Amino acid sequence: MTSREKTLIGAVAVAVVAWGGSKAATSYRETLERNTSQKTEAEQALNEAKVSVRRGEHARRQLNEWADRSLPRDRDIAESLYEDWLRAQITGAGLELTQLSDRTAAGRNAQYSELSFEYRGSGTLEQLADFLFRFYSAPHLHRISAATITGADAGKKLNLSMAVNALVLPNATRADKLAEGEPRKLAGTLDEYRKRLTSRNLFVAYTPKATDKGDGVAAKNRVSGFTYESDGWVMWVQNEDSKEIKRVAKGDDVDYGKVKGKVVEVSGRNAVIETADGRKEIRIGQKFSEAMPVEAPAAQAKPERAKGGSPEAA
């Protein structure tokens, strides 16, 4: 065998080894990618299974809670006991009971039974707040599905109509008595709810109360217009009682009740006043009681000269 033949055989052997190594590397890489993909899919399936288990556990806890709050399994007993309970809460709150009718349908459902009652009566807003607090803090599986409230005697008395629904579940934990235990905890106390509901008459037009003595002054002075003059934009303020009109420019001090400070900007559409409580903006037609807070100086409009100097020119 010549040296040339030996060299050729060596080169072929090297090429075969390199080809085999490349093929093995490719096969290894494909196997690794396939295993990584299978691992990712398995982890995703495991996470989905864990989520499903948690959902199932949450649903089971919810069903158990509803079973504890359900009316008794015996529907006839449930109707009688719940109607007595509802009547006691209505009269206990001081509401007048004109009518309490059982509107439960005759049909039954394999998953649950629904009892329906209609209440008609009257009372005060305080008594209604008392009843609603009693109702929603009770442990029963029930709700007020509809209500109509109309005022009489300027809202001092209410005429009431309510539809109440309660559920009987087949897996209820009790057969002959209503749910018992601690009242359900609401977001506030009875006194807090009563105060919120009765702090104003819902059946008469709302009149805001003055927060300080300056509100009356601020409400009687209105921005009647803006004009552009030799020293820039000017705001005109008219008093509601005296009809006096006052000229106010940038840099002037103003004192209109709760709006007290220095005018820092005037444009053709608004004015900004620096007060102890921060900047306040007021626009044409607004009273000073309607001035609104602004976080940053309002952008000034490009001056456009107005013809004449009338306060209503803007």
**156-212: per-residue pLDDT in tens?**
889 999 999 999 998 888 888 999 888 888 888 888 888 888 777 777 666 655 444
Say if CB 133 and CB 193 are below 8 A apart: yes
Of residues 209 and 136, which shows the higher confidence score?
A: 136
**Under CATH, which number does the domain 75-198 receive?**
3.30.70.60
3-state secondary structure of 139: coil
Task: Give the pLDDT score at 296.
Answer: 55
Closest CA to 93 of 137, 129, 142, 140: 129
pLDDT(137) > 90: yes
pLDDT at res. 19: 64
pTM score over 0.75: no
Across 174-188, 274-288, 295-309, least confident range: 295-309
Query: CATH code for 214-293?
Result: 2.30.30.830
Q: What is the edge-to-edge ordering of all strands in the sheet holding 278-283?
A: 253-256, 259-266, 270-275, 278-283, 292-293
> Which tokens go with 123?
């009372």
Percentage of residues in the chain having pLDDT higher than 70: 82
The string of pLDDT tens digits covering residues 139-156 is 999 999 999 999 887 778
For the chain, domain boundaries: 1-69, 75-198, 214-293
- What is the overall mean pLDDT for the chain? 82
- What average pLDDT does the segment 129-140 reach? 94
Task: Name the strand (E) or helix (H) holding 117.
Answer: strand 113-123
Give the whole-angstrom CA distance, residue 96 versus residue 158. 10
Q: What is the pLDDT of residue 9?
A: 64
